[in-house]
Amino acid sequence: MTGFAAQLLNGVQFGLLLFLVASGLTLIFGVMGIINLAHGSLFMLGAYAAFLLAKATGSLWLALPVGMAGGALGGALLEWTLFRHFAKREHLDQVMLTFALILLAEELRWLIAGNDFHAVPIPAALDFSVPVTRGFSYSAYRFAVIGICLALAGAMFWWIERTRFGAIIRAAAENPEIVEILGLDARRVHLIVFAIGTVLAVTAGMLAAPLTSVYPGMGDGLLIISFVVVVIGGLGSISGAFWSALLIGIVDTLGKAYGPAFQGTGALGTILAAMSGSSVYLLMIGVLLWRPAGLFGDRS
Amino acid sequence: MLTLKFPETNFQPLLAQIAGLDVEYVGAFFAGGGAVQFVKDYKAAGIKVPLVGSGFLTEGVLGPQGAAAEGIETALHYGDGLDNAKNTAFRAAFKKKTGRDADVYAVQGYDAAQLLAIGLDAVKGKFDDKDGLYKAMRAAKIDSPRGSITISPGQNVTQNIYLRKATGGQNKVVGVAAANLADPGTGCKL
């Protein structure tokens, strides 16, 4: 059973990182109505920024604030130059725009850092192991990532639920026109929301860099699973994204850990083993059939 | 056997499983960036079972793996500290020419060129004499930095497979895992 506890911890850690990516995705969709396929590329660019900045400054802790500031600036710039003009257009146009951004981001990554895998060292102060179960340890850095993700999630909740600007965002997610009717500057709201979403994705990439290495296309798989999180959590719902990210993180980890063991236990076992990597997609299909608006979405 | 899809590098579900196994050794096949991350994560997971594998697990990636790779035993057809005259000369010349230390890939390239040279010598440079070229290459006995090698009936290299141990940033050869091993090359159609 201790192995199971370790797998749960793995699931929670993966889920919290997923939340950082998915929350930006759901926020941008909820408030701006834009499906941002390039969100995974922002994660990838964050990871490469961590690699380059940590190499230049010698410390991930120095790289983190620089990367976050860069993410805020870059996000605001993207919104101002591109996304603003696509907010009112068809989803297909938005897909074309954001798909083009994926290609551009990969090209940029290739120009700057090449196509190699790169390892990012864990900050020296956290480069030690903490036993979690008998025979299995966790690096202190993983615990730090869990802590940072929880702190960011807490800050997001407070910001969305307790502040005036958060109320405006919730109103905008509910009914985009109401913001303008109330005489508020919708453009400013969109700019800030997009910048925050970008910062979250970039931060997730930077935090993940020492855990996964950095490599081409590393954001692609994460983007797809983040969409699953958003769909299960309910489009535009931050708390929905949080719980659904944890659920997906745990289901994905358990599926990968225990699914293959069914191999060789009859025809059903073979099917289960083959699908062990796709457990989250099966979950999504189930949720969509049961509650089409997601577990936390507005059912009206 | 535990597997995961390339290029996935979230090894945590596998590592937590390995920690619960009652085994003497864990054998892994990874190369390049995946090998760097796996070896580091394996160490961080605090698993006491010794990690072993194909030489590519630690070949060319000992720098970024750092202390996490220390003591890992692997098997490959080349390694650091092979004590023969050819290897010493080759490494010195390679370093002088390129500024880098020679590795298994450098040796393979060098031997491929040696093999071609033996074939071309036999036919006096007449590249069109394919039969003569192939015949000479099949019979070649090459003085390689990895030791003396020949070509097997399966058209693969017959060579020593060395046991290496990662020590202080080097894959030190500590013994011969299999002497003059001929790969049957069952997949080769030639």
pLDDT digits (tens, 9 = 90+) for A159-213: 998 999 999 888 887 777 788 888 888 888 999 999 999 999 999 999 999 998 8
Of B9, B19, B45, the CB nearest to A3: B19
Distance CA B127, CA B166 (A): 43
Cβ of residue B172 closer than 8 Å to a chain A Cβ = no
pLDDT tens per residue, range B48-69: 999 999 999 999 888 888 899 9
CA A90 and chain centroid, separation: 24
Q: What is the count of residue pairs from A and B with beta carbons less than 8 Å apart?
A: 84
A300 pLDDT above the threshold of 50 = no
* Distance, CA of A146 to CA of A8 (rounded, Å): 13
In this structure, the number of other CB atoms found within 10 A of the CB of residue A184 comes to: 15
> In angstroms, rounded to a whole number, what is the distance separating the alpha carbons of residues A185 and A42?
26
Per-residue buried b or exposed e for A4-28, using 16+ beta carbons within 10 Å of the residue's own CB: eebbebbbbbbbbbbbbbbbbbbbb
Mean model confidence pLDDT for chain B: 90
Question: For position A243, what pLDDT does the model report?
Answer: 94
pLDDT at A298: 62
Q: N- to C-terminal Cα distance for chain A?
A: 42
**Cα dist. B4→A91, A273, B8 in Å?**
35, 12, 7
- Shortest distance between the Cα of A60 and any Cα of chain B, in A, equals 16
| CB-based contact B10 A212, cutoff 8 Å | yes
Cβ <8 Å between A277 and B5? yes
Q: Are B45 and A10 in contact (CB under 8 A)?
A: no
Residue B190 pLDDT level (bands cut at 50, 70, 90): low
The encoded tokens of residue A1 equal 């059973």
Q: Which amino acid is at A153?
A: A
Asked whether the predicted pLDDT for residue A299 surpasses 90, the reply is: no
Q: How far apart are CA B12 and CA A257, in angstroms?
A: 9
- Whether residue B63 lies within 8 A of chain A, CB to CB, comes out as no
Higher pLDDT, A208 or A237: A208
Position B43: which residue type?
A: K
The answer to whether the CB of B162 falls within 8 A of the CB of B175 is: yes
**Residue A111 burial (CB < 10 Å; 0-12/13-18/19+)?**
exposed
| Amino acid occupying residue A101 | L
- Give mean pLDDT, residues B67-78: 94
Cβ of residue A143 closer than 8 Å to a chain B Cβ: no
Evaluate if residue A219 carries a pLDDT over 80. Answer: yes
Which are the contacts of A106, defined by CB distance < 8 A and separation ≥ 6?
A41, A44, A216, A217
From B5, which residue of chain A is nearest by alpha-carbon distance?
A277
B86 min Cα distance to partner chain A (Å): 32
Average pLDDT for residues B122-149, to the nearest whole number? 92
Assess contact for B40 and B65: CB atoms under 8 A.
yes
d(CA B147, CA B176): 11
Question: Taking Cα atoms as reference points, which of B99, B93, B52 lies closest to residue B76?
Answer: B52
Nearest-neighbour CA in chain B from A18: distance (Å): 13
Two tokens, residue B98: 């390129």
Q: Is B174 helix (H, G, I), strand (E, B) or coil?
A: strand
Chain B interface includes A2 (CB < 8 A): yes
Single-letter residue type at A283: L
**C-alpha to C-alpha distance for B170 and A185, rounded to whole angstroms:** 62
From A119, A122, A260, residue closest to B36, measured CB to CB: A119
Instruction: Give yes or no for a contact between B122 and B132, defined as CB atoms under 8 angstroms apart.
Output: yes
Once rounded to an integer, what is the mean pLDDT over residues A93-99?
94
Q: What percent of chain B has pLDDT above 70?
A: 97
- Strand segments (E) across chain B: 26-28, 51-54, 73-76, 141-144, 147-151, 157-167, 170-182
Nearest to B12 among A10, A117, A221 (CB): A10
Which residues of chain B does A133 touch, with a Cβ-Cβ cutoff of 8 Å? 19
Query: What residues of chain A lie within 8 A of the CB of B64, using their CB?
Result: 119, 121
Per-residue confidence band for A235, with pLDDT thresholds at 50, 70 and 90: confident
- Contact list, A121 vs chain B (CB under 8 Å): 64
Cα–Cα distances (Å) from B99 to A234, B79, B131, in that order, read 57, 19, 39
Least confident of A56-70, A98-112, A286-300: A286-300
Q: Are A143 and A150 in contact (CB under 8 A)?
A: no
Neighbours of B50 (CB within 10 A): 13
Q: Helices B130-138 and B104-122: crossing angle, nearest 10°?
A: 130
Task: Give ipTM to 2 decimals.
Answer: 0.79
Contact A3 B17 (CB under 8 A): yes
Rounded Cα distance between A76 and A188, Å, is 10
Omega into B7 within 30° of 0, i.e. cis?
Answer: yes
